[in-house]
Amino acid sequence: MKKIIATVGPSLLHTVSITEVHNNKLIYRINGAHGSINDIEKYILKIRNQVNNADILLDLPGNKVRTANLPNGFIEIEKNKEFSLLFTQMNYINFFKHLKNGDTVWANDSIFKFTVSKITEKEIFFMSHSTGILKDNKGMHVRGIHKNIPFLFSKDKKLIELANKYNIEYVGLSFVRTASDILIAKKLLQANINIISKVETLSAVQHLDDILKIVKYILIDRGDLSTEIGLNKVAKYQQFIIDKALFYGKNIFLATQFLKSMEMNPIPTIPEVIDMYNTLKSGIYGIQMSEETAIGKYPVECLNVIQSLVDEIQSELI
Which pLDDT tens digit goes with each residue over 57-66?
A: 999 999 889 9
Last residue of a domain, one of 131, 147, 163: 147
Same domain (yes/no): 12, 44: yes
**Is there a single domain that holds both residue 130 and residue 159?**
no
Residues 71-126: pLDDT tens digits? 999 999 999 999 999 999 999 999 999 999 999 999 987 889 999 999 999 999 99
Q: For position 317, what pLDDT does the model report?
A: 67
- Both 93 and 213 in one domain: the answer is no
Q: What's the pLDDT at 227?
A: 82
Closest by CA to 162, choosing from 288, 43, 18, is: 43
Q: What is the pTM of this model?
A: 0.88
Using pLDDT thresholds of 50, 70 and 90, give the confidence band for residue 223.
Answer: confident
Pick from 125, 147, 169: which residue ends a domain?
147
DSSP helix/strand/coil, 42: helix
* Count of residues in the chain: 318
Q: Measured between alpha carbons, how far is 285 from 219 in angstroms, rounded to an integer? A: 10
pLDDT digits (tens, 9 = 90+) for 248-306: 999 999 998 999 999 999 999 999 999 999 999 999 999 999 999 999 999 999 999 99
pLDDT tens digits for 169-220? 999 999 999 999 999 999 999 999 999 999 999 999 999 999 999 999 999 9
Structural domain total, the chain: 2
> HEC string of 113-170?
EEEEEEECCCEEEEEECCCEEEECCCEEECCCCHHHCCCCCHHHHHHHHHHHHCCCCE
Question: Which residue range is the domain that position 123 belongs to?
Answer: 71-147
Same-domain check for residues 163 and 309: yes
- In a shared domain, residues 107 and 218: no
Within this chain, do residues 19 and 85 fall inside the same structural domain, yes or no? no
Same domain, 84 and 54: no
Domain of 76: which CATH number? 2.40.33.10
Ramachandran bin of 211, using left for φ above 0, alpha for ψ from -120 to 50, beta for the remaining angles: alpha
CA distances from 67 to 35, 96, 121, 148 (A): 14, 13, 18, 19
**CATH number of the domain that residue 218 is part of:** 3.20.20.60
In whole angstroms, what is the distance from residue 27 CA to residue 35 CA? 20
| Residue-level pLDDT at 222 | 92
Write down the pLDDT at residue 110: 82
- Could you tell me if 46 and 10 lie in one domain? yes
